[in-house]
């Protein structure tokens, strides 16, 4: 049965028509190009020649209340009831974007996962999901009657907890810029830029000529990542490595909060892009470095999700389940 799925974030609005787990038609649109969500949804319906399924689920970066949501990183208010009526849909569910990502974990193939470090999953154990992109999403898959129940979360907005003197200095640097320093201020695309600028200030030097020349053509987070992977800018490499270490520490925090014996899954576009550096060791080392709980975490596996459609697949599963 065909369903309509959406994965709506601060950078892109992604839509797809999906039959079971096969994507029939897919389109992405820059979120910033549209003043209202209804406008981008209408464009997708037109691009799909108006032949969209009557059962839909949209996964949105924000807190869903009832069947409406105010998005976190772009000024949209999405009302499921109004959308359903305007576009003639039989059902339309709004869920948190990482709720959809969590459901997507349940339909992934093993070849869409890359394990970092050691550990083996426990059958039917809780699973923790987090992912940095425009923001930082988190969710938990809890076992329930031979299936799973997804517990949505806004854990990306918890306080950043520094672990050493350098990270304390990073916190102080960010406190000058933001009234509340959440972990998302570091673990996100803008957060990577924050780390880079902090390191630049620590060094008390100017950006490299290569960086400044390239900045006109690319966004800062992408540029930092590319220079780090290519080894063309030492400061960019330091920024990404610091990012990976803090990422691992936060993954370990989430794993402890739900005892994720079923594994910890790192989704989001950034993890896929920096996988070579993420695999170097700092991520897993920080994940396990929890004092008396280190032995517990050593047995929990961590995976990077390589499927860019995981949110869409999770949303499609909900659309089918509650049609």
User: What are the extents of the domains in the chain?
Assistant: 2-102+310-321, 110-306
Average pLDDT over residues 171-183: 98
Q: What is the pLDDT of residue 212?
A: 65
Give tens-digit pLDDT for 223-239. 999 999 999 889 999 99
Mean pLDDT of 13-28: 93
Token duo for residue 302: 């961590």
Q: Report how far residue 133's alpha carbon sits from residue 321's, in angstroms, rounded to the nearest whole number.
A: 28
Q: What's the confidence (pLDDT) of residue 290?
A: 98
| pLDDT, position 322 | 84
Range name among 77-81, 204-208, 308-312 with the lowest pLDDT average? 204-208
Res. 251: pLDDT tops 60: yes
Residue 62 pLDDT exceeds 90: no
Higher pLDDT, 52 or 305: 305
Residue 9: per-residue pLDDT: 87
Q: What angle do CA 186, 203, 288 make, to 5 degrees?
A: 40
Confidence of residue 41 (pLDDT cuts 50, 70, 90): very high
Third-level CATH fold of 110-306: Hexokinase; domain 1 (3.40.367)
Q: What is the pLDDT confidence band of residue 91, given thresholds at 50, 70 and 90?
A: very high
Q: Tell me the three state secondary structure of residue 88.
A: coil
Q: Do residues 37 and 29 make contact, with C-beta atoms less than 8 angstroms apart?
A: no
Q: What percent of the chain has pLDDT over 90?
A: 79
Q: Is 60 exceeded by the pLDDT of residue 26?
A: yes
**Which residues does residue 107 pair with via DSSP β-bridges, in sequence order?**
none
Q: What order of strands is seen across the sheet that includes strand 2-8?
A: 22-30, 12-19, 2-8, 55-60, 91-96
Across the chain, mean pLDDT equals: 92
Looking at per-residue pLDDT, the higher value among 219 and 18 belongs to: 18
**pLDDT score at 51:** 80
**What's CA 190's distance to the chain center, in Å?**
13
Q: In the beta sheet, which residues pair with residue 64?
A: 69
Examine the pLDDT at 2 and tell me if it is beyond 90. Answer: yes
- In what helix (H) or strand (E) does residue 93 lie, and over which residues does it extend? strand 91-96
What's the pLDDT score for residue 74?
86
Q: Residue 208: its pLDDT value, please? A: 65
Confidence (pLDDT) at 187: 98
More confident: 210 or 170: 170
Those residues with Cβ within 8 angstroms of residue 188's Cβ, 6 or more apart along the chain or in another chain: 132, 133, 134, 135, 136, 156, 270
| Mean of pLDDT values over 1-13 | 92
Contact predicate 211/164, CB 8 Å: no
- Of the candidate ranges 22-31, 178-187, 218-227, 277-286, the one whose mean pLDDT is the lowest: 218-227
- At the fourth CATH level, the homologous superfamily of domain 2-102+310-321 is ATPase, nucleotide binding domain (3.30.420.40)
pLDDT tier, 210 (very low <50, low <70, confident <90, very high otherwise) = low
Select from 256, 59, 268, 77 the least CA-distant residue to 152.
59
* CA pair distance 143, 263, nearest whole angstrom: 13
| Higher-scoring residue by pLDDT: 323, 2 | 2
Question: What are 271's strand-pairing partners?
Answer: none
Host H or E run for residue 62: strand 62-65
Buried b / exposed e over 79-92, threshold 16 CB at 10 Å, is bbeebbeebebebb
In terms of Cβ atoms closer than 10 Å to its own Cβ (0-12, 13-18, 19+), residue 73 is: middle
CA dist 155 and 310 (Å) reads: 20
């Amino acid at each position: 049965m065909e369903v309509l799925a959406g994965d709506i974030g601060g950078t892109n609005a992604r839509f797809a028509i999906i039959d079971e787990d096969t994507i029939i038609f897919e389109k992405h649109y820059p979120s910033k190009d549209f003043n209202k969500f209804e406008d981008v949804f209408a464009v997708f319906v037109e691009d799909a020649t108006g032949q969209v399924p009557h059962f839909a689920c949209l996964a949105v970066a924000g807190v869903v209340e009832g069947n409406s949501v105010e998005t976190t990183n772009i000024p949209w208010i999405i009302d499921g009831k109004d959308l359903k009526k305007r576009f003639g849909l039989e059902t339309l569910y709004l869920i948190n974007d990482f709720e959809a990502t969590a459901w997507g974990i349940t339909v992934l193939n093993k070849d869409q996962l890359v394990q970092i470090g050691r550990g083996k999953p426990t059958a039917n154990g809780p699973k923790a999901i987090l992912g940095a992109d425009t923001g930082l999403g988190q969710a938990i898959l809890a076992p329930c009657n031979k299936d799973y129940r997804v517990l949505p979360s806004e854990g990306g907005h918890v306080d950043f907890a520094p672990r050493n003197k350098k990270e304390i200095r990073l916190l102080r640097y960010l406190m000058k810029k933001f009234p509340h320093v959440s972990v998302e201020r570091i673990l996100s695309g803008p957060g990577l830029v924050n780390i880079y600028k902090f390191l630049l200030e620590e060094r008390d030097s100017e950006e490299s000529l290569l960086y400044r020349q390239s900045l006109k053509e690319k966004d800062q987070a992408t540029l930092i990542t590319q220079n780090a992977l290519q080894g063309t800018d030492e400061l960019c490499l330091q920024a990404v490595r610091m990012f990976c270490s803090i990422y691992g520490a936060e993954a370990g925090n989430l794993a402890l909060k739900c005892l994720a014996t079923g594994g910890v899954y790192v989704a989001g576009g950034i993890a896929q892009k920096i996988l070579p550096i993420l695999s170097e060791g700092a991520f897993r080392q920080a994940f396990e470095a929890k004092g008396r709980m280190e032995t517990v975490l050593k047995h929990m596996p961590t995976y990077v999700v390589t499927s860019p459609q995981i949110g869409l697949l999770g949303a499609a599963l909900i659309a089918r389940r509650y049609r």
